[in-house]
Structure 1
Amino acid sequence: MAQLSAPLTVFVTAPTLARTGTDLLEQAGCRVLYLPDGQDRSAVGRILSAEPVDAIISRTALLTAADLAACPTLRIICKHGVGVSNIDVDTATQRGIPVCVTPGANAQSVAEMAWGLIFAAARRIAWMDAELRSGRWSRAQDGLQLQGHTLGLVGFGEVGQRVARVALALGMPVVAFDPGLRAVPRGLEAVRLLPTVDAVVQAADVLSLHVPLNSATRGLMDAARIAQMRPGSILINTARGEVVDEPALIDALRSGQLFAAGLDTMAVEPLPPDSPLLALPSVVLTPHVGGSTPAALAAMARGAAQTVLAALLHGQIDPAHCVNPQVLSSFSQRALP
């Protein structure tokens, strides 16, 4: 790839990016900036106001309206993943800045994490491990055998479909809701699409959430919906913590209405040390790492770098990978030096 005489500046809102991404950017002659480890949130705004940033590869740091306003040279944002709740998409749209994602890049890793949480929650694996390490031979024999129990999926995209395939192989009936689907994909004809979230919630013995965080999904699993879950069922969340009403979930676990929960995401991250979730032996917790295997990180870095370079060098953006495609009609290629 030919290098530019005046390099483009790409800002990665994290201390690192996998070599699959940095190699592509460096081969194109890009100048790559990183958010230093341990910096407070204000460092994002300082870098954007001080540097001629052309593109942002967004990790988990917030990108606020003020941050975006501080950088008049910014032309594209690409999320290292698919969740854009940390990005002020409305402000980006007002400025004509495309916000893109890397769909499918981490789907397999997230699906495998969902299954790790399902197995651990259903058989109380984390609790028994802790008991053994504390010197107690506590043989829990009340675990849920999954075969024959119904898996409910709220969201049936790349991740949900992978989760469904494993469930079918285990002999679990699968029901799903996704407002964007009219029919199940080929090979998943055994999955029943239900017309509402409530229908899936009421039918599931294991309920797994695979939705983005937006105005429609924030608080989706509120107290009323959690109350509709089957007695002794399991809730799994590898989506976003804000999708679940945590106090309502805690009450349902304490009362015994729910058998267990597996959470890779929480409403507040990092999880506060006084969170009631930490005191519940029926909850399996992981620190939002479902999509953070080396394979997934490499795929997301490569996808984000390819998206940024295609946009800046060739004016090309796949509308299917853009969360605000209404800006694409006005997106124009920057003249190269």
Structure 2
Amino acid sequence: MAFTIFVTAPKLAPAGLRILEDAGCRVLFMRDGSSAAEVEGVMASEAIDAVISRTVELSAAAIRSCPSLKVISKHGVGVPNIDVAAATAAGIPVYVTPGANAQSVAELTLGLMLATARKVAWLDGELRAGRWTRAQDGLQLGGRRLGLVGFGQVGQRVAKVALALGMEVHAFDPALSGPSPVEGVVLHDSLDALLPLADVLSLHIPLNAHTRGLFDAQRLARLPRGAILVNTARGEVVDEPALVEALRSGALFAAGLDTMAVEPLPAGSALAALPNVVLTPHVGGSTAAALEGMATGAAHNVLGFLSGRAPDPSSCVNPQVLIRNNRSIA
């Protein structure tokens, strides 16, 4: 049976598209710059079997408008743009592609750590302006303590490189207990125990009701004076006005941010005006290798489910739907 797959983006990495086309699927794409309303319009007018969701919102109205919809797969791991509650109410599983972009995100995390510690962006700007400014207050990371909040596939990759740099690595992840999955990393049983130790704090957590605004003024103040904050997770987990104040006051040495509370970054952003902030436009997973991994993972998720070969249940964010539909989650 030929399935209709709707990709809420203008394209999909060739390897993922090839998987769908080889299976005889009809693949629909959105035009560049499409809105949530346009997504709903397509879903209301087409007999769509599966959605591969990129960054455009997949609303409750869009999900309800498509009675033929059977499965959704996120092209990535974060699902704040998908109304998971609406999908669950409709009996539709929502899958993600864990690990597909972990290496690329970990590498950008390390890049931001190094760039902020050694003032790379600021020094580059000085040279381009014709000034031979040799700043003497860059930070050496070796010998300092790295704190990782969230210790999944990205955090573990970051930890291994940080250990090789000579950093002392500490981590907190409420989902982990027992020995650390990475030798040499100290696991803590609370965030409050970790923060005072973190000369560099790197965030690797999802956005949800518990993590939104988690790093407010009070928690940022628990970091050692002159610490660095790196965020390649979700911008909304940090209280940005509190972060700006900590950076202005010198309580924080610098921040490296791939994600912001509002994206794209609005004109006149206070973050963009600070010389001790390095910003990248949410490109942690935007390498050819990561895009291919997410595309092939999403394609396998939807085809596996539609063909009766259930994908790995651990990649389903609403597994109660699988139980309700008598799908195995063992």
TM-score tier after normalising by the smaller chain length: over 0.9
- Give, in whole Å, the separation in 1 of the partners of 2:269 and 2:293: 33
| Offset, 1:184 | 4.1
**What's the secondary structure of 1:277's corresponding residue?**
coil
1:215 partner amino acid = A
Deviations 1:50-87 (A, max 9, x none): 11111111111111111111111111110111001111
- Give, in whole Å, the separation in 2 of the partners of 1:190 and 1:245: 31
| Offset, 1:331 | 3.1
Q: Are 1:43 and 2:34 an aligned pair?
A: no
Q: Which residue of 195, 200, 204 corresponds with 1:210?
A: 204
Deviations 1:185-229 (A, max 9, x none): 55x221010111122111100000000111111111111101111
Q: Which residue of 18, 22, 26 corresponds with 1:27?
A: 22
Query: Which ranges in structure 2 are unaligned for 5 or more consecutive residues?
Result: none
Which residue of the partner structure matches residue 60 of structure 1?
Answer: 55
Q: Are 1:96 and 2:91 an aligned pair?
A: yes
1:1-337 superposed matches below 5 A: 4=1, 7-186=2-181, 188-331=182-325
Aligned-residue identity in percent: 63
- Give, in whole Å, the separation in 2 of the partners of 1:184 and 1:284: 34
CA contact (8 A) 1:315 1:331 kept: no
| Offset, 1:40 | 3.0
RMSD: 1.1
CA contact (8 A) 2:258 2:279 kept: yes
**What's the secondary structure of 1:87's corresponding residue?**
coil
TM-score under structure 2 length normalisation? 0.97
- Give, in whole Å, the separation in 2 of the partners of 1:296 and 1:235: 24
Query: Which ranges in structure 1 are unaligned for 5 or more consecutive residues?
Result: none
CA contact (8 A) 2:35 2:56 kept: no
- Give, in whole Å, the separation in 2 of the partners of 1:33 and 1:183: 46
